[in-house]
Structure formats: structure tokens, C-alpha cells
Amino acid sequence: MSDPAEKFLTPAERLQIEARIAEAEKRTSGEIVVQVVSSSDHYPLATMIGSLLLAMLFGIAAALFFRDENMWFFLVVFSLSFIAFHELVKGVALLKRLFVTASDMKAEVEEAAMQSFYLRNINNTVDHTGILIYISLFERKVRVVADQGINAKVAQEVWQEIVAIIVSGIRGKEHGKAIASAVDRCADILSTHFPLKQDDRNELPNEVIMGRGK
């Protein structure tokens, strides 16, 4: 199965964003990383709950349709339909979302973004001025994670502007343009507090990260 994150941006859009990151880092000692993932979790419990519910409803409907009150008939229909519905719910994002709570999605995005921030060593820049723009498609959420050097000078609320820029752009089907604009705005914010230093070097790749495992 193809990764939806790979189709989210065209090659041209990726190059545009990467060019903006490179330009941004000519104005600030901060390091900007953009990551797009299909989902922050597989949500196996949601798949199980959805499959059980749909299989139960289908089994009841089949028993009523065939007017068969035999428990074994229901169990056979339920078991077979559960297998089919399990694969369906697991593979169809829109269907799976019906069985995932908003609080669970928020928590999973938060955890996945923080994990990526540390696993990719964004927290290891010289002045602790790394920032991750994390976009999770299944949950339709954007999370901005900034290192401690930035958090000491920039309030967390400021990053909601970045989130709003990206969310608005995605709704308007202008994914690449919105992310590029968000990178520009990050540069504006960072350059105020962390202007480019003479001995500055590019500590993190400018490449847009597509997917969780790359």
C-alpha cells in the first residue's frame, strides 16, 4: 500500500519548500525541519472496535433478512464479516477516523512529534535552536516543536500562527505554498531572536522528510 505522505507534495513543491528552508537559514542561526507523515499511529484499538461494531450490525441485519434466529448462523456471519471489516477499517482512513477520539489523535500526534524531534537530533544543535514543523495527515493536525533555546525567548502561542497558515493552505489545496509560507514566517520569528552568526553552519538537512521511517 502506498504511503499517502509521499503523494501529499509534488516533487516541485518539495524543492520549493527546501529552497525556502535554505533561504530562511541565511537569516537565522535557527534550524528548520519539515516532516509530513501519513499517520502518527496505526490505531489498532480503533480498528478492532470498528470491526466488531460493523460485524455485529451486519450479523444482526443478516439474521433479520434471512429470518434465521439460529445463534450459529449469526456467529458464522459475524466471524466472516469481522475479518472483512477489519481489513476495510484498517485500510480506509476515513472509516477508521470514525472510531478514533479527538483526544486520542491529539495525544498520538503530540507523542509522535516529540519522538521525531529527539530521534532526528533536532534537539542537538549548538545553541538549541532547532524547530520541527510536523504535519500528520490522518489526524489533520500540525504540531510545531521548538528546542529549549527558542522556547526561552518565544512563547508557545506564537507557533499557532504557523499551524494556522498550514491548516488554511491544506484546506485550500495549496499544500506546498502553505508550508513554504510557514517556513518564511518561522524565519521571521527566529531571525528576530537568533540572527545569523558569522560562524554559523547548516547543522540539519534541508530535505523535507516524507513519512515516519525516513
The residue ranking higher by pLDDT, 178 or 213, is: 178
- pLDDT greater than 90 at residue 68: no
Domain borders along the chain are 4-41+102-210, 44-99
Query: Which CATH number does 4-41+102-210 carry?
Result: 3.10.310.50
Nearest to 115 by CA among 137, 136, 97: 136
Lowest-confidence range among 66-75, 126-135, 181-190? 66-75
Which among 78, 41, 46 has a CA at the least distance from the CA of 62? Answer: 78
Copy the grid coordinates of residue 167. 491548516
Q: Residue 198: which pLDDT band, with cuts at 50, 70 and 90?
A: confident
- Does the pLDDT at position 165 exceed 80? yes
Cβ(37)–Cβ(213) under 8 Å? no
For residues 15 and 208, is the Cβ–Cβ distance under 8 A? no
- In the β-sheet with 141-146, what is the strand arrangement from edge to edge? 141-146, 130-136, 31-37, 209-210
Q: What's phi and psi for 201, nearest 5 deg?
A: -135, 155
Kind and range of the H or E run holding 212: none
Query: Of 2-6, 16-20, 74-78, where does mean pLDDT reach its minimum?
Result: 2-6
127: amino acid identity, one letter = D
Going by pLDDT thresholds of 50, 70 and 90, the confidence category of residue 200 is confident
Determine phi and psi for 34, rounding to 5 degrees. -115, 130
Q: What percent of the chain has pLDDT over 70?
A: 98
pLDDT category of residue 180 using cuts at 50, 70 and 90? very high
148 in helix, strand or coil?
Answer: helix
User: Residue 8 has which C-alpha cell?
Assistant: 501529499
C-alpha torsion sign, points 186, 111, 125, 156: positive
